[in-house]
Amino acid sequence: MSKPFSQRFRQIVFRLVGTLVAGLFYRVKTFGRENLPKAGFLLVPNHMTYVDAVVLQLACPRPIRFIVHQSIYRIGWLTPIFRLVEAIPISNVRAREAIREAAGRIRKGEIVCIFPEGELSRTGTLVKLRKGFELIARLAECDVVPVWLDGLWGSIFSFEGGRYFLKMPKRIPQIATVAFGSAIPDHTADIGLAREKLLELGEFCYQRRPELTGHLGRATVRGLKRRPFDEAIIDGMDGRVLKRGDLLAASIALSRWIKKHCAGERVAVVLPPGAGAVVANVAVTLANKVAVNLNFTAGRAALQSAIGRGQILHAISAKPVMKRLEDFPWPKDVFRLEELIPELRPKIALWRVVCAVTPAWLLSNLLGLPRKGDRKEAVLLFTSGSSGEPKGVVLSHRNVLGNVLQFGSMLNLGREDSVMASLPFFHSFGCTVTLWYPMIGGVRAITYPTPADVVKNAEIIERYKISLLVTTPTFLRGYLRRAEPKQFASIKLLVTGAEKLPRELGEAFEEKFGKHVLEGYGLTETAPVVSTNLPDPPANLPTDTVQPSSRVGSVGKLLPGQAAQIRDPETNALRSPYQLGMLWLRGPNIFEGYLNELERTAEVLSDGWFKTGDLGRFDEDGFLYIEGRLSRFSKIAGEMVPHETIEAKIVEAFDLKMVDERVVAIVGVPDPAKGEALVLLAIRDLSPEKVREHLLASGLPNLWVPRTIRKVEKIPILGSGKLDLGKCKELALAR
């Protein structure tokens, strides 16, 4: 039976008025309309804001019938609107009735939309999907079309900042991107596949954000210009303070000098974290050159290789640093910062005035900075070489800006917050999180030359009331031994990376300091942050469900704008996201390739997807579990054997507790009979018989028991805190 004319007219008028009003506040870019079936189908979007339905209807050429939770449907002033657009109310009591009605509408050729998360995300990420959409699709025998809405998190209708509505809009109109994915047949549509496809659409939308095409230098100028009288850097060595405007002026003056005196595309920076290192890095970038922070803890051969491959002719350092690095293979020209800065003081004073009166866009133009950096090289880092010769990792402007945007949107730190910047800038976390994020994001950075001096670092954390500490389990052990609980009172977020966080270490730290240790995951090639656990968001209403943002044993959820696949390690065939397999990633933070190594790049990059080298899996809530690098597995008699699992069982069985230091390491060595054999390195005397007995009693198979045990003085560790796999193998093979 057709609707009365008056009802259809009211619906048309309401949709038209709604579209016009929404159009004043939103500019919607739509992709994938060609993917919409002509027959009825089920639409499944992500759910970030109160206006998602309006934005979806703006993007869709046909009317959408929304399924709305009864508690929202019954809000007095909304009920007439929902009735007018014939929304379908759903609740736990009338779920079956709503599902049947939705299926019936789809069979009649309509588009029905259900938000599969069942609630608004208060985390900015996709929360747990529910099975209701599967039931509707099966009953209606219809296609399921995933759709992603991007650009709305951060608007007044989202929970960004821990509240709805009560905040200033960042821009009007808000730019929103909507991408409709390919239809999924009803018999294959399930939670795992829907989540995977939604994240792929999210990555597609994120890559189209205009800010990602920008230039790192321009973003830094904007960031430093925003609050020029705020403190940018406090040097923990001498308490020297650099305000954001002063830092910008000094960096510009030095950048003009670099542009005049430094030939070539790249300039090395050989300085520990400090005001000088920050100024040098910003100056090189403002000169439109590539800063290469060299790992001065690496061996001479590795450094010579890096300098040669990077075609580095010039370096910026300081006399005290050069004195300590007697064996360093310095390039052709080395410029000492303590000599340059006094010489440039008159120009710094002039630039301070220019910066004060010139808008950021005009200042960037005066400096000759390109409007677009996008996929051009911005930063060159060399990997720690934990499993071989260090590789040159080319990070583009898109990579660094993308990662700063990704985790910046999740951290919710403000101008009153500060970051502990003691990780070296040649470390990927140090480079992006403690160098570029504070410059662009507006938080204060407190520097110290080394993270290894945990006593001094703890004093600085207490003195300057630091909010964010990014560290590694190796340095966390030092804090546990030598720091006092009161020194960590100001910490809001304590994130570890670079190596797996032993559970007993996290528990011991939380017991002593009352701070939950949040494990994250990243790689140099991912610029670097991929995922991190975070504190759970607060509830907006007493009835709100808990939306977990952390889970023990996981490395958290993927940061926004990334897609992931789990593939077979040998055949690359796709696996369920819940199965263990090789983790592949795609997103704006995926690097451009290895420096001058096309073959090696082709091995890990394929159609934008990056092979991480790590074996992992996801749970139904989207938390990522990393079981270890492929290099930390041995293939024995055709079976993949995880080294870290065996290490954890040995630590537990012998009550070794790797809190103070690493006490064991499993290494795979060649074996003619089974392919590989396991060798246990231990700093204590362990009986082979007892090891075997305990491992078998813990449920591990006989194949996983190491046959050889070697006592060593110390387990080899790199400066980054990672296991030095090369030296471990040498010890394992030693006769």
Strand, helix or coil at 161?
helix
Strand, helix or coil at 193?
helix
User: Which CATH number describes the domain made up of 5-208?
Assistant: 3.40.1010.10
Q: Which of 121, 124, 180, 126 is closest to 154 using CA atoms?
A: 124
Least confident window among 85-89, 201-205, 488-492, 657-661: 657-661
Sign of CA dihedral 298, 387, 595, 308: positive
Residue spans of the domains in the chain: they are 5-208, 637-733
Q: What angle do CA 126, 131, 132 make, to 5 degrees?
A: 105
Ramachandran region, residue 465 (left: φ > 0; alpha: ψ -120 to 50; beta: rest)? left
Residue range 108-155, pLDDT digits in tens: 998 999 999 888 788 888 888 888 888 988 998 899 999 999 988 776
Within 392-453, where are the H helices? 397-411, 428-431, 437-441
DSSP-assigned letters across all residues of 292-311: EE--TTS-HHHHHHHHHHTT
Instruction: Decide whether 5-208 matches 637-733 in CATH topology.
Output: no
**Banded model confidence at residue 701, pLDDT cuts 50, 70, 90:** confident
33 within 8 A of 2, measured Cβ to Cβ:
no
396 within 8 A of 374, measured Cβ to Cβ:
yes
Residues 637-733, CATH architecture: 2-Layer Sandwich (3.30)
Sign of CA dihedral 55, 56, 61, 62: negative
Average of per-residue pLDDT across 397-418: 90
Average of per-residue pLDDT across 530-553: 82
Q: Output the pLDDT for position 723.
A: 79
**Banded model confidence at residue 281, pLDDT cuts 50, 70, 90:** very high
| Helix 473-482 and helix 503-513, axial crossing angle in degrees, nearest 10 | 40
**Banded model confidence at residue 3, pLDDT cuts 50, 70, 90:** low
d(CA 584, CA 616): 10
* Residues, the chain: 735
Residue range 674-697, pLDDT digits in tens: 778 888 988 888 888 888 888 888
Q: What is the pTM of this model?
A: 0.86
pLDDT reading at 638 higher than 90: no
Sort 24 into a burial class: Cβ within 10 Å, 0-12 / 13-18 / 19+: exposed
C-alpha 69 chain-centroid distance: 33
Residue range 345-361, pLDDT digits in tens: 999 999 999 999 999 99
Q: Output the pLDDT for position 14.
A: 62
d(CA 716, CA 610): 29
pLDDT reading at 538 higher than 80: no
C-alpha 559 chain-centroid distance: 5
Please tell me which residue, 11 or 177, carries the higher pLDDT value. 177
Going by C-beta distance under 8 Å and a sequence separation of 6 or more, which residues neighbour residue 113?
42, 43, 44, 45, 53, 56, 64, 65, 66, 67
Rg, the chain, Cα only = 28
Amino acid at 168: M
Least confident window among 115-129, 317-331, 464-478: 115-129
